[in-house]
Chain A
């Protein structure tokens, strides 16, 4: 058989089967989240493991919105995640540009140190972080979360941005500078428009990381009106019972911003991830 012949039907089908298995595995928890969120409370245990409840209700969503502090958590999370994403992307873009374009003393050491910060399990540095934040008087503020998240996301985001800048030929900036731009103008008018996919990818990555962070949010925040949404979810666990329906309904709400955000940036994301990786 020629190597250029059309692949056999069986081969194509098996590829789809593998993909379908993977998708089922990855998406099933999300499906279960959705299923529980529309299941009336009285049926949660009695309905068994049926794939779809015998009765569907939106009561859980209603009570989450009306009778819990969910909207506050949600607002806090939006604030922290966008703040972190914006701040990190700006810092990472600046640092990534420098790493990509300039040779300076200590560059390798700085890159090495940035890598080291990524090696430690977060658990072992919680205590010192707590001391530092408390010393700064930032305990129980949303600012503290933005500061900590930014600090932990900047190194990776910097490497990401650096690879995007590496993918933009140096010639373009030099041409712009010969054409009459200062370096800053060249960056703004030529490099920046070409880095948009990279910026979007970085923004999306950091946003998601901040959106779902739980550990620091529990440690550094203790009043109800400052809680972010992952911490807020825990309030559905009371001493004697867990309100599964409401918890899942809140979870569904929490998916919405992430989904919207990714729908918005996914065009750039795919383009960005590939164009950053391969030159040209």
Chain B
């Protein structure tokens, strides 16, 4: 177990800077999720922590000890790869015991530890199989078993679930959450899937274009996104964003509707989550819209609405809805849950 600290880490390939000024402190036993769109640098960051990618500048510390130049094998971390990276020519038991074997552990101890992690992950009957004789989910388990058998300082996961089908992904997600509770180990997890991020993380780090956009607990990111990028990225379906301008004491949408908020002169964008728009009678509400597509999901309904002069607005209605395509109705924004952003995309804090 250990805490990990990143101080002003940056990374360049030649003249191209892909990551800069990354500061992050990870507590012992914490589950950190690095999330962002593809190409945002999250995997590169993980690989720098693993020692597979050199760090251009900045300090990486494990338990207050500088490890920038340490080889991966001396960092005592385990990593689960997206491709699982199981050794094709070794059976499951040897795959899981390989790291102990390399470190010259006694055969008896290797056997014991392999058995124990096979128990934990339900791999008992598969120990003498080769990876090619396993299903995707089983391979994933072996990859995790390989990490557990070592009892490392920290676990790194590089999009471990993205090669699984949807049902298995949910199951393994739960498995990883349980594993974290049981082991209490430091875990760093990379994903582009915000659902995985929101469900697994103690804290989420949102990355975009090599920069940290925000660090926070899952609900913090949802409720108070630091900027437009985080607002758009976290939450599904995504937030509705509209341009606004200040007219007198109130903000006005581009179609002329007033929204009953003041942005103090700086606000240029108005963000409202689909679940914070209520469906009301046509003569009430802030704007009037026409239902274009209605998705009925059982527990919720998504209503894609066309609002004149504003474009498409998505509404999430809890439970079922009576609305049909072509119906006209009023949209009322719950302004106390809405967000305003300035011209740099930074969220404005309002006194409501």
Instruction: Tell whether B99 is near chain A: CB-to-CB under 8 Å.
Output: yes
Contact, CB under 8 Å: B99 / A180? yes
Contact check, A175 vs B89: say whether CB atoms are below 8 A apart.
no
Is A265 in contact with chain B by the CB < 8 A criterion? Answer: no
**184-222 of chain A: CB within 8 A of chain B:** 185, 189-190, 193-194
Instruction: Decide: B73 and A181 in contact? CB cutoff 8 A.
Output: yes
Given contacts A171-B81, A171-B83, A185-B102, contact A178 B50 (CB under 8 A): yes
Question: Which listed residue (B50, B51, B87, B88) contacts A176, Cβ 8 A?
Answer: B87
A175 adjacent to B81 (CB under 8 Å):
yes
Determine if B103 is an interface residue (Cβ-Cβ < 8 Å).
yes
Do the beta carbons of B73 and A179 come within 8 Å of each other?
Answer: yes
- CA separation between A175 and B142, bound complex, in Å? 13
Q: Taking the complex as formed, is A177 at the interface, i.e. its CB lies under 8 A from any CB of chain B? A: yes
B99 near A179 with CB under 8 A, answer: yes
Within the complex, what minimum Cβ distance (angstroms) separates A275 from chain B? Answer: 11
Whether B103 contacts A174 by the Cβ 8 Å rule is: no
Interface size on A, residues (CB 8 A): 17
Query: Interface of chain A, helix or strand or loop or mixed?
Result: helix
Which chain B residues numbered 118 to 161 have a C-beta less than 8 Å away from chain A? 146, 150
Instruction: Fill in one digit per residue for B52-72: 1 if any A CB lies within 8 Å of its CB, else 0.
Output: 100000000000000000011
Closest to A196 in B: B89
B212 at the interface (CB under 8 A from A): no
A179 surroundings in chain B (CB, below 8 A): 73, 78, 98-99, 102, 146, 150
B85 in contact (CB, < 8 A): yes
Instruction: Point out the residues of chain B lying under 8 angstroms from A180, CB to CB.
Output: 73, 99, 102-103
User: How many of chain B's residues have a CB under 8 angstroms from any CB in A?
Assistant: 21
Nearest-CB distance from B172 to chain A (Å)? Answer: 19
How far is it, in angstroms, between the C-alpha of A177 and the C-alpha of B79 when the chains are bound?
10
- A-side contacts of B81, CB under 8 Å: 171, 174-175
Q: Among the interface residues B77, B89, B150, which one has the most CB atoms of the partner chain A within 10 A?
A: B89
Q: Are A175 and B73 in contact (CB under 8 A)?
A: no
Q: Name the distance in Å between A87's Cβ and chain B's nearest Cβ.
A: 26
Which one of B78, B88, B89, B103 contacts A178 once the chains associate, using CB atoms below 8 Å? B78
Contact of A171 among B51, B85, B150 (CB under 8 A): B85
Complex interface: chain A residues within 8 A of B73 (CB): 177-182
Indicate whether A242 reaches chain B with its CB closer than 8 angstroms.
no
Q: B residues 259-311 with Cβ under 8 Å of A? A: none
Which residues of B sit under 8 angstroms from A182, Cβ to Cβ? 71, 73
Complex Cα distance, B72 from A172, in Å, reads 14
A176 to B217 alpha-carbon distance, docked (Å): 34
A-B contact pairs, 18 of them (CB 8 A): A169-B83, A171-B85, A174-B52, A174-B79, A174-B81, A174-B85, A176-B87, A176-B98, A177-B71, A178-B51, A178-B52, A178-B72, A178-B73, A178-B77, A179-B146, A179-B150, A182-B71, A185-B102
B residues contacting A by CB (< 8 A) are 50-52, 71-73, 77-79, 81, 83, 85, 87-89, 98-99, 102-103, 146, 150
- Enumerate the 7 nearest inter-chain pairs by beta-carbon distance, A residue then B residue, closest first: A179-B99, A171-B85, A175-B85, A180-B102, A180-B73, A177-B72, A178-B72
